[in-house]
A and B are shown apart, each in its own frame.
Chain A
Amino acid sequence: LGLLTTTGCGEKFLEEAPRDQLTTQNFYRNETDAILATNAVYSQLSRKGQYNYSLWGIGDIMSDNSNTGGGGGGDGAEEIQLDQFNIPSSNPMTSALWAGCYVGIGTANLVIQKVPGITNMSPAIRTRCVGEAQFLRAKYYFDLVRCFGDVPLLTAPPASPADAAIPRTPAAKVYEQIISDLTAASGSLLGSYSGSDLGRATKWAAMGLLAKVQLTLGNKAEAARLAQLIIATGPHSLWANYGDNFKLENENGKESLFEVQFVYDPSQSYDFNHLGFAGNEFFAPRGQGLAPQGGYGFNIPEPNFVDGYEAGDRRQAVTIFKPGDPYPAGSTYPSQPAKLDGSPNGYNVRKWLVPKTVTNVWDSPLNFPVLRLSEIYLIAAEGLGATTDGFKYLNVVRRRAFGEDMLSTSPQPHDLNSSNTGDFSAAVLRERRYELAFEDDRWFDLKRTGKLLTNAHLISKGIKPFNVVLPIPQSERDANPNLTQNDGY
């Protein structure tokens, strides 16, 4: 009868923890947990909200480099909305970017909050994990702020969904956080990895991204300083041939500062969230049998882009198909026809094409570059401006494109100099357009240089002043009344 007291203390009696599931309460306890948590931060890179879908829609199709293509009719409706600047707040590509970045940031925040408190692990791995998370958090915020302007800035996991329903943070504040994260990461991350860690973020990746951020903010001197530091002290070097950058055997190669790791996914599935790159299938000439499903012919290079290649630029054959270009082995057709469904001029992106034998439905294994050394050269050039060194860095990239001696101290035929170049900035921007073509960069370049609204091609496509930022996803505004919409949407 005295049992009254034994069950009297209710709260204590009800203290129960799950026994058969991992939760935020019983995870983050050792080195394995820390590494697993960090790996998850990377995973968004290869998915829908980044390089597998959103970024080529925004970076390529929404720019003057290419248009939608595809099968016509309702095919590629979301790309067409971007392509023609008729962008609803429900556009799947912009919404996916928001989602992918914030999911990446959420996982990064957990690592940054939880991992420093794990005592049961190697200090070096602990530092690395936090550094990787900081680098990736900066990368995701960088994409958000460039696409949407002011965005909610969260640097710690919210306790409940309501805690995340904050107003938009001014872009300048977001940039401060990005710079702070990248500065920390470039101080703490390793310079290189080997073996099973190949592909993780290095200090050079963090420094390179920081240079790009500084350039975006107009801090040219700082961008140039960082880029030159990487060129001078980093372990990277340029491939002799431009095309070597986009080969399976050269993944995580000498020119690469950071790239998205894609892998052949054996599960036959039509999903942008698999581990392989869907662009192989989407960009391959439509119905020509170069990709497992025959190719969908999206992301069609614009005539204006194709016509802009200088004669002798070796990058053209690597980057695009033109009519008559012979097909690699595997196709039933000999060469690119004069015209294809969705591609009236017979142009297609070639850069990411992987032989059918090693790829699967929507799942190509070829990694995708985020930062290559050649871009660092171009950042250095842009940062330095029309100076001797500025021309020097720009010409290294050009010399490779034309098959000239990159290191020669004597002038080369295609070198630019102050006498043949009136507008140095325009020259660098043009060079970036061809060097980094279809690496999801063009729209961002036009935006940061203020050229979006003056670009004749984009004007012809109907760009409106408010299109310099993208619409905040409506579903997010439904959940958070504090989230204002960008003007015009």
Chain B
Amino acid sequence: MNPFKIIGLLGLATTAIGPLLVFTGTLEVATNKLVMLIGMIVWFLGATPWLGTTKLQPSDKEVEI
């Protein structure tokens, strides 16, 4: 598996887990902000080389609301 994809998915999972833990009452809102920040950084580190080179699609040039 593409290592960048693994890194990206880990970042995405981190981004998702924080709010879920807030919802279940096991994480403070303030701590979640840090967890989501880390998740975001990891996501972009992995997703940029993973998804950044994929071919553009017809919708990329169109305007959607």
Report if A and B associate in a common complex: no
Query: What is the interface of chain A, defined by CB distance below 8 A to chain B?
Result: none
Query: What is the interface of chain B, defined by CB distance below 8 A to chain A?
Result: none
